Amino acid sequence: MKKNIIIVLLILAAVFIYFRQENKNYYDMVNAVSGATPLAIAKDVPKGVSLVIDGLVKQEYRFSASALNGFASTRIRTREFTPDGKFLGAYAYTGIPVFNILEGIAPQKDKDALFNQPLDILVRFISSSGKSVGFTFTELIMADDSLPVTLAFYREEIKPTADSVKDTYDKNIFNGLLAGLRLIAPSEPDVSRYLDDVVKITYTTLPAPDNLLPIRKKAKCVSTAITCIDGGNRYQAAFENIPRIEKKEWVLIGHGHGYEDKVDSEGFELRAFLKANFKEITPDDYFLFVACDGYRCLFSWHEIFAVEKGKEIMIADSVNGKLPETGYRLAPTADFFNDRSMWGVAYVVKINGKLN
């Protein structure tokens, strides 16, 4: 019996040594930093937290805390300000990037929808109190994931380490544990689209004019002018005195078809174009772009005007030194996927999407 116990112990020791050696770099790195498990791995979604996803989806989803723990999490630091510039603190959040969840949620519009793709869908995040904020489906899925919009479930203050101030530092307004899921948008300059205690995500659409073009797949058409629609007003867009920008070696990768090309594009800065053609623009506004073949794509004010990469969006009239055969091209050159790169832009519609 004693001999058998010794053999078992030797086998267990051998397994441990093998596992330890196979993962030596990982353990050595972790121990060199803190001697502990990385913080983004150590945290779990608190019990009792849940999330519903409904609206224009193939099926409704209900995620419990244990189900949410199945998604890959990340740890992100934020510097938070109110829209009027008041500092709210610096924090480190552990949470789930929203695209980790939404990439597995299949959108489905009504059968009689004029446009059957999700590129004009609005994603509403709703709190337990009924307050909500909106993001476009495309800015969550297509644009960029370097500083992802995240549903955080753990927050800790970032404090100075100097002995002279660390015990009396009071610049962080928030302290204590989160009460549920906090939506954070780390790439944005303020917390206007942050939301506490998120319990639901709803896919919906914004009201657009009824007489826009329906989608005509593979239709050949050319846009020689752009019509702007602002409420009941329709007028031809002006391009005079709008600054021009360029993007060298713009990499085109389609969400559905993969790598396509690398091109040089030049055109009119979208920010300046919108300011010149619409009298009043607010953070509650969204812009729906419609191509001459009916293709649609929705952009939020925030992704155009608030974040740095909004400066790189243009209405291109030159691709590799030539006028595109289909006319004006919408070119969000900072996007990861180029699905929002629209050929033959025919309409730009301003829609107020205030949710609360």
Residues whose CB is less than 8 angstroms from the CB of residue 99 and which lie 6 or more positions away in sequence, other chains included: 140, 141, 145, 148, 149
Comparing C-alpha atoms, which of 90, 86, 96 is closest to residue 43?
96
- Shortest CA distance to 181 belongs to which of 306, 37, 67? 67
Which residue intervals of the chain are DSSP H helices?
2-22, 24-33, 39-42, 65-68, 98-102, 137-138, 270-277, 301
Say how far apart CA 261 and CA 331 lie, in whole Å. Answer: 14
pLDDT band at 38 (very low <50, low <70, confident <90, very high): low
Could you give the angle at the alpha carbon of 106 between the alpha carbons of 55 and 254, nearest 5°?
125
Check pLDDT > 50 for residue 29. Answer: no
Pairing relationship of beta strands 244-254 and 296-300 according to DSSP bridges:
unpaired
**Residue pair 74/95 in contact by the 8 Å Cβ criterion:** yes
Q: How much is the average pLDDT of 151-176?
A: 90
pTM given for the model: 0.85
Q: What is the pLDDT of residue 209?
A: 82
> Scanning the structure block, which residue is given the tokens 């506490």?
196
> No. of H helices and E strands in the chain?
8, 19
Would the pLDDT of 301 be above 50? Answer: yes
Question: Could you tell me how far CA 348 lies from the centroid of its own chain?
Answer: 22
pLDDT at 212: 79
The SS3 call for residue 302 is helix
Q: Residue 133: which of 230, 200, 220, 45 has the closest Cα?
A: 200
Question: What was the pLDDT predicted at 113?
Answer: 80
pLDDT confidence of 121, banded at 50, 70, 90? very high
